[in-house]
A and B are shown apart, each in its own frame.
Chain A
Amino acid sequence: AQKITQTQPGMFVQEKEAVTLDCTYDTSDPSYGLFWYKQPSSGEMIFLIYQGSYDQQNATEGRYSLNFQKARKSANLVISASQLGDSAMYFCAMREGYSGGSNYKLTFGKGTLLTVNP
């Protein structure tokens, strides 16, 4: 079974509107972290937001918020007030285990290509 599932290969949104990118995960480890990264056409991976499994509140970073539903094992990314520069690939990723552990590696989903229309 895939550890990270992103069911939307592509999404379109109108400029200034909000958009939700889906991500579900699968792990039996009680300690884990969830990440969202943006990858523009240039290739670099840009960190957007992080949610720890024990965090009580949903993470927010500017226009980005993470809708963390632990029981459903989902960690959807919400981008508010979309901008043209938001057009990019978006990857959801998971780190299993304690963040201070030596086995620190990320498993990535297949990504969602977001296109913001003017």
Chain B
Amino acid sequence: GAVVSQHPSRVICKSGTSVKIECRSLDFQATTMFWYRQFPKQSLMLMATSNEGSKATYEQGVEKDKFLINHASLTLSTLTVTSAHPEDSSFYICSARRGVREKLFFGSGTQLSVL
């Protein structure tokens, strides 16, 4: 079964509103979670690395004030798309690392559509 839960799976919102996406590790503690963005028929692009109890590390070109990441506990990271615009429409997917040498487990993704 899934070890990383992502919610919601799909969201449609109006331009200018904010949207929060949750990523939970279900049966393990994830000190580090990762947020990716994927455009249609494109690869996954890492947006930021979320560390529990500290500020997220953003990749070059990703606006940290636009994409707010909070990793308040060892099992939950949230991505908030603030003042969403149509160009923010995309598939967002999180992943979590279980243990030092473990592979990444991915959530099922969130399809965001901004009208």
Binding site for B on A (CB under 8 A): 35, 37, 42-47, 50, 91, 99-100, 102, 104-111
Contact = CB atoms under 8 A, between A and B. Distances in A.
Contacts of B42: 110
Contacts of B106: 37, 44-47
Interface of A is mostly: loop
Nearest to B100: A100
A106 B104 contact: yes
Given A44-B108, A45-B93, A50-B103, A111 B43 contact: yes
13 contacts: A37-B106, A43-B108, A44-B109, A46-B106, A47-B105, A91-B43, A106-B44, A106-B95, A108-B43, A108-B45, A109-B43, A110-B42, A110-B43
Interface residues of B, number: 23
A107 to B, nearest CB: 8
B32 A104 contact: yes
B17 to A, nearest CB: 23
Interface of B: 2, 32, 34, 42-46, 49, 91, 93, 95, 97, 100-101, 103-109, 111
Given A37-B106, A105-B49, A106-B34, 5 more contacts: A45-B93, A102-B32, A104-B32, A106-B95, A110-B43
Nearest to B110: A43
Nearest to A49: B103
A106 to B, nearest CB: 6
